[in-house]
Amino acid sequence: MRGRALGIGTRAGAALLTVGVLAWLPQYYGATDTALFAKAIYIAIAALGLNLLTGYNGQVSIGHGAFFGFGAYATAILMNDHGWDFLATLPVVAVASFVVGAAVGFPALRVKGLYLALITLGLAALFPDLVTKYVHGTGGTTLVQPPLPTSPGWAQGFAPNDDQWRYYLALTIGIVMFILAWNLVRGRFGRALLAVRDHDAAASTIGIDLARIKVGSFAISALYAGIAGSVGVMVTGLANAGRVETFQLSINFLVAVVIGGTATVLGPVVGAWTFVFLERATQDLFPDQALLSPAIFGVALILLLFALPDGIVGGARRTGRFARRKLQARRAPRAPDFPSPIREDRQ
Amino acid sequence: MALLEVDGVGLEFGGIRALDDLEFTVEAGEICALIGPNGAGKTTLFNCVSRVYTPQRGSIRFDGRELLTLPPHRVARAGVGRTFQNLALFPALTVLQNVMVGAYSRGRGGAWSDALRLPGVARRERRLAREGSELLERLSLDHLGDQPASDLPYGTLKRIEIARALASQPRLLLLDEPAAGLTHSEVEELGGTIRQIRDDFELTVLLVEHHMPLVMSISDRVVVLDLGRKLAEGTADAVSQDPQVIAAYLGAEL
Ligand SMILES: Nc1ncnc2c1ncn2[C@@H]1O[C@H](COP(=O)(O)OP(=O)(O)OP(=O)(O)O)[C@@H](O)[C@H]1O
Ligand SMILES: [Mg+2]
For A133-155, the pLDDT digits (tens) are 888 877 777 888 888 888 888 97
The pLDDT score that the predictor gives to residue A271 is 93
The pLDDT score that the predictor gives to residue B53 is 94
What is the enclosing helix (H) or strand (E) of B6?
strand B4-13
For B91-136, the pLDDT digits (tens) are 999 999 999 999 999 988 888 888 998 888 999 999 999 999 999 9
Domains of chain B: 4-92+157-250 (3.40.50.300)
Put simply, the answer to whether A183 touches B100 (Cβ < 8 Å) is: no
Residues from chain A contacting residue B114 (CB–CB below 8 Å): 183-184, 186-190
* Ligand 1 mutation pick, B42, B44, B84, B175, max ligand atoms within 8 A of CB: B44
Chain A residues bordering chain B (beta-carbon distance below 8 Å):
1-4, 180-181, 183-184, 186-192, 194-195, 197-199, 201-210, 216, 220, 263, 338, 340-347
Q: Is the pLDDT of residue A3 over 60?
A: no
Q: Is the pLDDT of residue B241 over 80?
A: yes
Put simply, the answer to whether A341 touches B77 (Cβ < 8 Å) is: no
DSSP three-state, residue A336: coil
The pLDDT score that the predictor gives to residue A338 is 43
Question: Ligand 1 atom closest to Cα of B53?
Answer: 1
> Of all protein residues, whose CA lies closest to atom 4 belonging to ligand 1?
B13
Residues from chain A contacting residue B210 (CB–CB below 8 Å): 346
Entry pTM:
0.90
> Of all protein residues, whose CA lies closest to atom 29 belonging to ligand 1?
B39
Domain ranges of chain A: 18-327
The pLDDT score that the predictor gives to residue B194 is 95
Task: Count the neighbouring beta carbons within 10 Å of the beta carbon of residue B29.
Answer: 14
Q: Which CATH architecture has domain A18-327?
A: Orthogonal Bundle (1.10)
The pLDDT score that the predictor gives to residue A170 is 96
| Ligand 1, CB cutoff 6 Å, lining residues | B 13, 16, 18, 36, 38-44, 85
Per the prediction, chain B carries an average pLDDT of: 92
Chain B: give the shortest CA distance to residue A314, in Å: 13
CB A125 within 8 A of CB A243: yes
Tell me which residue in B50, B114, B152 faces A189 most closely, judged by beta carbons. Answer: B114
The pLDDT score that the predictor gives to residue B131 is 95
> Of all protein residues, whose CA lies closest to atom 17 belonging to ligand 1?
B43
DSSP three-state, residue B183: coil
The pLDDT score that the predictor gives to residue B132 is 95
The Cα–Cα gap between A134 and A126 comes to 13
The pLDDT score that the predictor gives to residue A109 is 85
For A244-288, the pLDDT digits (tens) are 888 889 999 999 999 998 888 999 999 999 999 988 888 777 777
The Cα–Cα gap between A32 and A45 comes to 20
Cα distances from A308 to residues A47, A114, A260, A278, A304, in angstroms, run: 18, 24, 9, 16, 6
Put simply, the answer to whether B88 touches A192 (Cβ < 8 Å) is: no
For A59-118, the pLDDT digits (tens) are 999 999 999 999 999 999 999 889 899 999 999 999 999 999 999 998 888 888 888 888
CA of A190: which chain B residue's CA is closest?
A: B111
**Residues with Cβ within 8 Å of residue A75, at least 6 apart in sequence:** A86, A89, A90, A93, A146, A229, A230, A233, A234, A239
Give the number of beta-carbon pairs within 8 Å between A and B.
142
Interface confidence: ipTM more than 0.90: yes
The Cα–Cα gap between A255 and A73 comes to 24
The pLDDT score that the predictor gives to residue A172 is 96
Q: Is the pLDDT of residue B151 over 80?
A: yes
Tell me which residue in A1, A194, A340 faces B186 most closely, judged by beta carbons. Answer: A340
The pLDDT score that the predictor gives to residue A4 is 53
> Of all protein residues, whose CA lies closest to atom 28 belonging to ligand 1?
B39
Question: Ligand 1 atom closest to Cα of B46?
Answer: 18
What 8-state DSSP symbol labels residue B68?
Answer: T
DSSP three-state, residue B20: strand
Put simply, the answer to whether B90 touches A209 (Cβ < 8 Å) is: no
The pLDDT score that the predictor gives to residue A153 is 80
Q: Are β-strands B31-35 and B221-226 bridged in parallel, bridged antiparallel, or unpaired?
A: parallel
**Residues with Cβ within 8 Å of residue A32, at least 6 apart in sequence:** none
The pLDDT score that the predictor gives to residue A157 is 81
The Cα–Cα gap between A199 and A62 comes to 23
DSSP three-state, residue B153: coil
Cα distances from B241 to residues A147, A314, B155, in angstroms, run: 88, 58, 31
| Residue (of B50, B143, B22) closest to A201 by Cα position | B50
For A34-70, the pLDDT digits (tens) are 999 999 999 999 999 999 999 999 999 999 999 999 9
Tell me which residue in A191, A201, A345 faces B181 most closely, judged by beta carbons. Answer: A345
| Residue (of B187, B213, B210) closest to B36 by Cα position | B210
> Of all protein residues, whose CA lies closest to atom 7 belonging to ligand 1?
B13
Q: Return the percentage of chain B with pLDDT > 90, whole number.
A: 74
For A155-171, the pLDDT digits (tens) are 788 888 888 999 999 99
Residue A55 CA, ligand 2 centroid: distance in Å: 32
For A192-251, the pLDDT digits (tens) are 999 999 999 999 999 999 999 999 999 999 999 999 999 999 999 888 888 888 888 999
